[in-house]
Amino acid sequence: MRNQNQRVLIISGIITTVVVFVIGLLIGRFGICKNEDSKSTYAKPDYLVDEADPTIADLLMNGIDADRIRENLRYLTSRPHLAGTDGNNVLARHLKTAWEEAGLDHVTLTPYDVLLSYPNMSDLNYVALLDDNDTIQYKSDLREPALTNENQTEVVPPFNAYSAPGDIKGTLVYVNYGRVEDYEHLSSKNINISGKIAFARYGKIYRGDKVHLAEMRGAIGVILFSDPEDVTSGDIKQVYPKDWWLPSTGTQRGSLLIGDGDPETADYPSIATAFRENTTDFYLPSIPCHPIGYGIARHLMSNLAGEEVHDSWRGGMNVTYKYGDAFTNNGWKAHIHVSTQNQRAVIYNTIGVIRGAVEPDRYVLLGNHRDAWVFGAQDPSSGTAVMWELATVMGNLVKTEKWRPRRSILFCSWGAEEYGLTGSAEWVEHYSKSLGPRAVAYLNVDIAVEGNFSLEAEGTPMVYTSLVQASKKVANPGSEEIKAGHPTVYDTWMATFPDEKFGRPEISLPGAGSDYSTFRDRLGIPVMDVRFTWNRRYKVSSYPMYHSAYETFYLVDKIMDRGFKYHAAIGKLWAEIARDMADSLILPFNITDYAVVMEDLGKTFVQRFQSDMANHGLDTALLIHAIANFSTAVQDFQVRVKTVDKSNPFAIRRINDQLMNLNRAFLDPAGLPGRRLKRHILFAESNVDSYSGSSFPGLADALTEIRQGHDVDEQWKRVKKHYSVILYAIQAAASTLKSVDDFMYDHL
Ligand SMILES: *[C@@H]1O[C@H](CO)[C@@H](O)[C@H](O)[C@H]1NC(C)=O
Ligand SMILES: *[C@@H]1O[C@H](CO)[C@@H](O)[C@H](O)[C@H]1NC(C)=O
Ligand SMILES: *[C@@H]1O[C@H](CO)[C@@H](O)[C@H](O)[C@H]1NC(C)=O
Ligand SMILES: *[C@@H]1O[C@H](CO)[C@@H](O)[C@H](O)[C@H]1NC(C)=O
Ligand SMILES: *[C@@H]1O[C@H](CO)[C@@H](O)[C@H](O)[C@H]1NC(C)=O
Ligand SMILES: *[C@@H]1O[C@H](CO)[C@@H](O)[C@H](O)[C@H]1NC(C)=O
Ligand SMILES: *[C@@H]1O[C@H](CO)[C@@H](O)[C@H](O)[C@H]1NC(C)=O
Ligand SMILES: *[C@@H]1O[C@H](CO)[C@@H](O)[C@H](O)[C@H]1NC(C)=O
Ligand SMILES: *[C@@H]1O[C@H](CO)[C@@H](O)[C@H](O)[C@H]1NC(C)=O
């Protein structure tokens, strides 16, 4: 039984607790100043070394609302929003207001005046087939006919941005996908495209590389088309608006620029004081190029003469595929009319900030572009709709003081990705000195839902663990998949893209498909890009409606993601990874994964090129040895992480700094051989296909050229120099992981 004294003690204890609590609340409520080092809502003295609050993960994920994402998407797609146009700039301002209301601490619009490209609206582009009297026999539609009831007024007709203007006539040669190996095949048939028009199907490689490769071989123009094999199920009646497959009139727009950012201000931001010039860092075509659908492409193909193509070149049109180099009717010609002009325009990025509570000068970035070719319901607005929801949910937790992340979180809505990653590249160039050294990671979602089946991802190896763990926490949005025994996003992902070698789902090295490129190449920070994709039983190159006017709200709402469950699932995944990186006391970068991937890259490289290298006196054992040294440094570092004094904020900061700087050590300020703006020596897109990532890209490109017999002596010099740079960089990276008094190598 309790006596009176105990009671008094308990009551006064309760009173004291309540008083302290109220005072704490008052400090929390009124004591927050705008100083960036303020303690904010953290009242505990040891808040500097608090572990992340595990309950926040569910709070964030459960806050994500599919209906709100649907409303966001409806708004974003209500009007075309091409880069540099009013439609896109209105959205930039709308997001700023919405994010401010949502509770973000600060939202900025960052404008850049950049070189874009538009067709002349009173002189539209087309492709035609002319008879021997130059009379038009077949002509492409000037616009894609509307199939649902969107307002068509501001829909830009099909065009390829940065195409040279021109009006040309000539012989047509079918070049399959227009890859290097396709030209090798043509030359085995003694077909030369010099002075002729290349007729290439979309797919496999970046369209800008198709035009570049054709131009280098002397082509005078390029016609790009979508082949039914790549964009339909085989049944050309089962297409939009009935299904997600591309109809015969559907046409893929897209840029031809090779290089990241405004081509007139390479490496510098396009701000008011910028000096503008064209440099060899970028490729802009000097020949005209125009895209068409398979309805008209079929007429071009059916009139081609010449030998029937090799099996692998045959596509899905119900005509005989021929190499061409002549038409069946003597004197007929292909005709390309392009009025497209380069034009400077102002673009806006919208950047929203949630200030971190403990380490506000460490930034976790979330990004997605806003500009679309037309309505952009998949690319990129599915991603923007989700990012907007994340800002709403996180902003609300901050506003209601339920949460403030340890580190700052930035939401980035880019203004002109489609033209050449321009919004993000200009911003990275602009803030590389202030943001660059303090950025933790860049997490991109370009298209949230390009299909409704499995997750697909690419990224820097040190983010793999965080990504995989987050995917295990998100319920599978596919009810069929749940029935099939795959309860989480991870399960379907692992079943669809297993990477047997590493016992995890396959994650590609980052290519150059989206805005993360400049973060990887210039800032050297870890990057990631995720999306839901289609079932791989369909062998298509991209999702069928890609960059057409049929990427509408109707398509997403009625066909792709009824109920917006896949959108919500990507939102949960994205939010959880961001929370993990923003809140974890020690950054959740698993650098053992980095070492494991490097060992694999090293082995693959040696298998491919050992004898070529040895014949020129280059010892590939050195590479293996350097990587082994790196792995040892990683292991030692992991031991120090396990034993670090977690009550010492400086010790924690030191470990985190090392984690942050590891990936930066692989930047070479001189750039890859011949590509000075590509500065990450391990990861860059391939030189002949800007979409796909390649490893030791500087070496692999040069050695491939050598094997093809191009410029052999010069290329060997490059290989020797670059090999030494790689060996040095790996050693430099290992040294960033060493303890403070032992980062140097002894020379005995
Ligand atoms: C656009 O086309 C019209 C009609 O051919 C022409 O008069 C005009 O000069 C063109 N505009 C530009 C900017 O070339
Ligand atoms: C081209 O014009 C000539 C003379 O006008 C005519 O004889 C011929 O039939 C025409 N060819 C075609 C394909 O229309
Ligand atoms: C279509 O869009 C244009 C340009 O924004 C606008 O002027 C017009 O009123 C719209 N038409 C309809 C039917 O909404
Ligand atoms: C193709 O033709 C052009 C011009 O006739 C010539 O210069 C070039 O060497 C030829 N290319 C090949 C691969 O034969
Ligand atoms: C750069 O090249 C593009 C395309 O040829 C051209 O439109 C532009 O005016 C050039 N800019 C400068 C500064 O020379
Ligand atoms: C081939 O496809 C076209 C539509 O693209 C159709 O009109 C035609 O009937 C088809 N021909 C055959 C022989 O199937
Ligand atoms: C998933 O996409 C397919 C098209 O691939 C569509 O037919 C189907 O309705 C979609 N499923 C859901 C649940 O939205
Ligand atoms: C880090 O990566 C390694 C190699 O893939 C793996 O064995 C380890 O379990 C990972 N660590 C964590 C904490 O997941
Ligand atoms: C590996 O590390 C040792 C020192 O531990 C050093 O002597 C050696 O040069 C390094 N090897 C390479 C290839 O970096």
Q: Which helix (H) or strand (E) holds 528?
A: strand 527-533
Closest-approaching ligand to the CA atom of 195 = 4
In sequence order, the β-bridge partners of residue 126 are 337
Q: Which residues, 6 or more positions from 216, have their beta carbon under 8 angstroms from its beta carbon?
A: none
Helix (H, G, I), strand (E, B) or coil at 194: coil
Taking CA atoms only, the protein residue closest to ligand 9 atom 12 is: 626
Q: Select from 239, 318, 319 the residue to mutate for testing ligand 6; criterion: most ligand atoms less than 8 Å from CB.
A: 318
Determine the Cα–Cα distance for residues 222 and 225; give it in Å rounded to an integer: 10
Q: Is 491 helix (H, G, I), strand (E, B) or coil?
A: helix
Is the pLDDT confidence value at 396 over 60? yes
700 vs 62, residue with greater confidence: 62
Query: Minimum-distance ligand to the CA of 732?
Result: 9
Structure confidence at residue 23 as a pLDDT band (50, 70, 90): low
Closest-CA residue, ligand 5 atom 2, reads 278
Is the separation of the CB atoms in 720 and 616 below 8 Å? yes
Alpha helices in 257-317 (DSSP H): 294-302
User: How far does the centroid of ligand 1 lie from the alpha carbon of residue 343, in Å?
Assistant: 13
Host H or E run for residue 593: helix 591-615
**Per-residue tokens: 694:** 């390649």
| CB neighbourhood size of 317 (10 A) | 22
Q: Which atom of ligand 9 is nearest to the CA of 629?
A: 1
DSSP 114-135: EEEEE--TTS--EEEEE-TTS-
- From CA 701, how far away is CA 517, in angstroms rounded? 18
pLDDT at 685: 81
CB environment 363-387: b (16+ within 10 A), e (fewer): bbbbbbbbbbbbbbbbbbbbbbbbb
Q: With bands split at pLDDT 50, 70 and 90, how would you rate the model's confidence at 21? A: low
For 304, other C-beta atoms within 10 Å of its C-beta total 24
Q: Residue 37: pLDDT band by 50, 70, 90 thresholds?
A: very low
pLDDT digits (tens, 9 = 90+) for 519-531: 999 999 999 999 9
CA of 118 to the centre of ligand 1 (A): 12
| Residue 110 phi, psi dihedral angles, 5° rounding | -115, 110
Query: pLDDT above 70 covers what percent of the chain?
Result: 93
264 lines ligand 5 (CB under 6 A): yes
Residue 438 corresponds to which amino acid?
R
Closest among 272, 270, 316 to 297, alpha carbons compared: 316
Ligand 3 center to 88 CA (angstroms)? 16
Q: Where are the alpha helices (H) located in 269-380, listed in sequence order?
A: 294-302
Instruction: Give the residue from 395, 398, 399, 359 showing the smallest Cα distance to 583.
Output: 359
Ligand 4 and 190: CB distance under 6 A: no
Q: What pLDDT digit, counting tens, does each position of 432-477 carry?
A: 999 999 999 999 999 999 999 999 999 999 999 999 999 999 999 9
pLDDT tens for residues 228-281? 999 999 999 999 999 999 999 999 999 999 999 999 999 999 999 999 999 999
What's the chain's average pLDDT? 93
Ligand 1 atom nearest the C-alpha of 123 is 2
Q: Which residue has the higher pLDDT, 98 or 28?
A: 98
Q: What are phi and psi of 739, to 5 degrees?
A: -75, 160
CB 407 within 8 A of CB 435: no
Token couple for 502: 């590493």
pLDDT at 711: 87
- Whether 671 and 729 have beta carbons less than 8 Å apart is answered as no
The torsion angles phi and psi of 622, rounded to 5 degrees, stand at -60, -40
pLDDT confidence of 383, banded at 50, 70, 90? very high
Query: Facing residues of 228 across strands?
Result: none
- Banded pLDDT at 601 (limits 50, 70, 90): very high
pLDDT at 20: 53
Give the model's pLDDT for residue 560: 97
Query: Measured from the CB, is residue 622 less than 6 Å from ligand 9?
Result: yes
Instruction: Give the whole-angstrom CA distance, residue 464 versus residue 458.
Output: 9
592 lines ligand 5 (CB under 6 A): no
Phi-psi region of 284 (alpha: psi -120 to 50; beta: other; left: phi over 0): beta
Mode of pairing for the β-strands spanning 359-369 and 504-505: unpaired
Tell me what pLDDT residue 705 has.
84
Omega within 30 of 0 (cis) for the link into 588: no
Residues 6+ apart with CB under 8 A from 399: 102, 103
DSSP reduced 3-state for 492: helix
Decide if 580 contacts 403 (C-beta within 8 A): no
Q: Is 343 in the pocket of ligand 1 (CB under 6 A)?
A: no
508 CB within 6 A, ligand 4: no
Q: 124: which 2 tokens?
A: 């539209």
The continuous run of DSSP H or E covering 493 comes out as: helix 489-496
Instruction: Find the ligand nearest to 294 CA.
Output: 6
Looking at beta carbons, which pairs linking 23-32 to residues 24 or more positions away fall under 8 Å? 28/401
What's the 218 CA to ligand 4 centre distance in angstroms? 8
Instruction: For residue 654, give the amino acid letter.
Output: R
pLDDT in tens, 150-164: 999 999 999 999 999
Q: What percent of the chain has pLDDT over 90?
A: 87
> How many whole angstroms from its chain centre is CA 454?
18
Asked whether 292 and 158 are in contact (CB, 8 A), the reply is yes
Give the DSSP H or E segment for 505.
strand 504-505
User: Which ranges of 163-320 does DSSP label H, i.e. alpha helix?
Assistant: 180-188, 207-216, 228-231, 294-302
What's the burial of 305, exposed, middle or buried (CB within 10 Å: 0-12/13-18/19+)? Answer: middle
Nearest residue (CA) to ligand 3, atom 14: 151
Q: Kindly give the number of the ligand 5 atom that is closest to the alpha carbon of 286.
A: 5
CA of 165 to the centre of ligand 1 (A): 12
Q: What is the CA(294)–ligand 6 centre distance, in A?
A: 12
Helix (H) or strand (E) holding 397: helix 381-399
Sheet of 439-444, strand order: 106-118, 341-354, 407-414, 359-369, 439-444, 527-533, 454-459
Indicate the top mutation candidate among 121, 163, 339, 342 to test ligand 1's pocket, ranked by most ligand atoms within 8 A of CB. Answer: 339
Please tell me the distance from the alpha carbon of residue 186 to that of residue 197, in angstroms, as a whole number: 14
Q: What is the pLDDT of residue 129?
A: 98
User: The tokens 């052999």 sit on which residue?
Assistant: 712
591-615 and 649-662 helices cross at what angle (nearest 10)? 30
Cα Rg of the chain, angstroms: 28
Go through 143-160 and write b for each residue having 16 or more CB atoms within 10 A of its CB, e for each that does not.
ebeebeebeeeebbbbbb
Using pLDDT thresholds of 50, 70 and 90, give the confidence band for residue 18: low
Residue nearest to ligand 6 atom 3, measured at CA? 318
d(C-alpha 314, C-alpha 326), whole Å? 18
Q: Tokens standing for 395? A: 């902003």
Q: Distance between CA 477 and CA 487 in Å, rounded?
A: 9
Q: C-alpha dihedral over 398, 69, 155, 96, to 10 degrees?
A: -10
Q: How many residues does the chain have?
A: 748
Q: Considering only CA atoms, which residue is closest to atom 7 of ligand 9? A: 745
pLDDT, position 7? 57
Hey, what are 622's tokens?
């050195």
* pLDDT tops 80 at residue 498: yes
| CA pair distance 603, 620, nearest whole angstrom | 10
- Give me the phi and psi of 224, to 5 degrees please: -105, 140
CA distance 489 to 495: 10
DSSP conformation letters of 507-520: -BPP-SSSTHHHII
- For residue 462, give the DSSP letter: G
